[in-house]
Chains A and B, each alone.
Chain A
């Protein structure tokens, strides 16, 4: 029998950009099994995932609508991860921003959107940062692991939202567990006629570009990347590691908060319990797929939006359960993670 062993070598430069493509190929090969189980034609399924959402105006706009919060949660996670701060709490910080947006929106009756929208955005950013503050200060002052604290606070804020929606904020009109409608002056404006693509998409793109600029061209970005590469080395180089992580964590929380504001002000116009349903966790996928680079994050957010839209039309057209989209995302994430490691190895005959 021929024996193989793994040898450690650096991947050639041309290989790195190929990783997403290889990952996609492997992912689709693996999901073919599930597609066959569902009794569908794999080629048709991939057509619905990759081509159909791009081939009509309505579907393409839906992809952009779906990508809007993902741009922001992806950017939020990538920002924190870049500084080596493992913020798993974008989900909770998104809810904090959505709560702030829904709350401020109630009082903005008669206010012009020119004042109302910036106010809501500022409030959402602040709320997200506040929700991120606890774990960040615990990490930097007491060295308490942020993975667990940010994760647990996601559950805590869901209880808080549930309490508000079933109690003080319950809409007196509908009696559903949803907050009162926000004022007209707090609505994000529409970008296109007869489509629900809204101002939040512009916010998302702007945040991506700003994040790229901050990470690549400012002293803060340089410090963050240095800390992300290695905390000990950054410390020796005289950087204030804790302060850098704290700032990164707060801004990361703020960006996730903006995603929450966008869902309230651009889509629902009130707060509901299922307003996120995992957008923050998708941000972790997107940040990883995008290699923590803002532009990569932008592409990944668009791609996940594509898969989400495709999964929905897939279930309508072919009767394949919509959850196939979730499975594809998960497998894509795990395969990409593996390829990032495997690219540094080569199979050799022993």
Chain B
């Protein structure tokens, strides 16, 4: 039983890592007033760029940081469309997802062809802080990026609530007219927020290919971006909520995986669908109390 629990907790932290990256990225975007449905595609792009650069250069970290950089470019493009031009945010976001999905698969096919055995790299190894044989070894010995993800939660909370930049982001997300009148550059702040967000999303995708799989596959993101959209609501647009949301979702996903490998016959799809249904329930209960940024989905036009 203890072994089961320890394994479960360890897997939960691993599963939660890309979700934390993605959800914090979406948090920056939405707090500035832009719903970025490009998240699913941006994570996919991050997984592709991370894997390709790491595979060609031999450096996992170079792959990771290139992915983050490209993710920021993706955020900039989203800002060009949804902020500067002010086009419909959800259509633009879905368009971005389609663009990066198609682009990544196109590029992957061109660079790696269609080999029988999919190309792979030696992924990031877990840190060895404690010997694996010790009781808590598997829980403590996580990937470095998992530690980064969990540290990013308080950091994001601090940036959004304790810095001038974070105050500006929240101001343009709540009331862009007032922020503009107070002398803030709404376009610039939203663009920055989307770029930070895009970098985080791509980082989450790169974790999947560089740490979790050591490969890039068609189904590598498999709707995790949409899970992040759900987690934002679950988290009520607060960084600390992201922690609980990602842990609960990661916990459920890890549990169903473990029960499945133990040979238990479960309608595991029910487990997987549960977080989505709980999110919708959370939306209903929160109702008008939900603290969604007031200007979310509203393009700002300076007259």
Binding site for B on A (CB under 8 A): 34, 37-38, 86, 88, 134, 138, 142-145, 147-149, 151-156, 158-160, 162-163, 166-167, 281, 284-285, 288, 321, 323-327, 329-331, 333-334, 337-338, 340-342
Contact = CB atoms under 8 A, between A and B. Distances in A.
A152 B91 contact: no
Given A148-B230, A288-B91, 6 more contacts: A147-B90, A151-B37, A152-B229, A166-B269, A321-B110, A329-B102
Contacts of B227: 155
B85 A338 contact: yes
B53 interface: no
A316 B282 CA distance: 48
8 contacts: A142-B284, A147-B297, A156-B273, A159-B270, A323-B105, A327-B99, A330-B95, A337-B92
A284 B106 contact: no
A323 B85 contact: no
B81 A337 contact: yes
Interface in B262-286: 267, 269-270, 272-273, 276-277, 279-280, 283-284
A311 to B, nearest CB: 10
A138 B283 contact: yes
Nearest to A151: B226
Interface of B: 35, 37, 81, 85-88, 90-92, 94-96, 98-99, 101-103, 105-106, 109-110, 223, 226-227, 229-230, 233, 267, 269-270, 272-273, 276-277, 279-280, 283-284, 287-288, 292, 297
Given A281-B98, A285-B95, A323-B109, A148 B273 contact: no
Contacts of A160: 269, 273
Contacts, number: 126
A155 B276 contact: yes
B39 to A, nearest CB: 11
Given A321-B110, A333-B91, A334-B96, A163 B37 contact: no
Contact of A333 (B35, B95, B287): B95
Contacts of A153: 276, 280
A163 B280 contact: no
Contacts of A333: 91, 95, 98
Given A34-B106, A86-B90, A159 B226 contact: no
A163 B92 CA distance: 32
A151 B229 contact: yes
Given A155-B226, A159-B273, A160-B269, A331 B287 contact: no
B102 A330 contact: yes
B269 A159 contact: yes
A82 to B, nearest CB: 14
Those 9 A-B pairs whose CB atoms lie nearest each other, nearest first: A326-B102, A330-B99, A321-B109, A159-B269, A163-B269, A330-B98, A323-B106, A327-B102, A159-B273
B99 A331 contact: yes
Nearest to A168: B267
Nearest to B226: A155
Contacts of B90: 86, 88, 147
A282 to B, nearest CB: 9
Contact of A334 (B92, B106, B284, B287): B92
A143 B283 CA distance: 10
B283 A334 contact: no
A40 to B, nearest CB: 11
B270 A338 contact: no
A30 to B, nearest CB: 10
Contacts of B279: 148, 152
A113 B288 CA distance: 50
Contacts of A34: 103, 106
A34 B111 CA distance: 12
Contact of B283 (A38, A149, A285): A149
A268 B46 CA distance: 35
Contacts of B92: 334, 337
A341 B229 contact: no
A337 B229 CA distance: 23
Given A162-B269, A321-B110, A338 B284 contact: no
Contacts of A288: 88, 91
A342 to B, nearest CB: 7
Contacts of A324: 102, 106
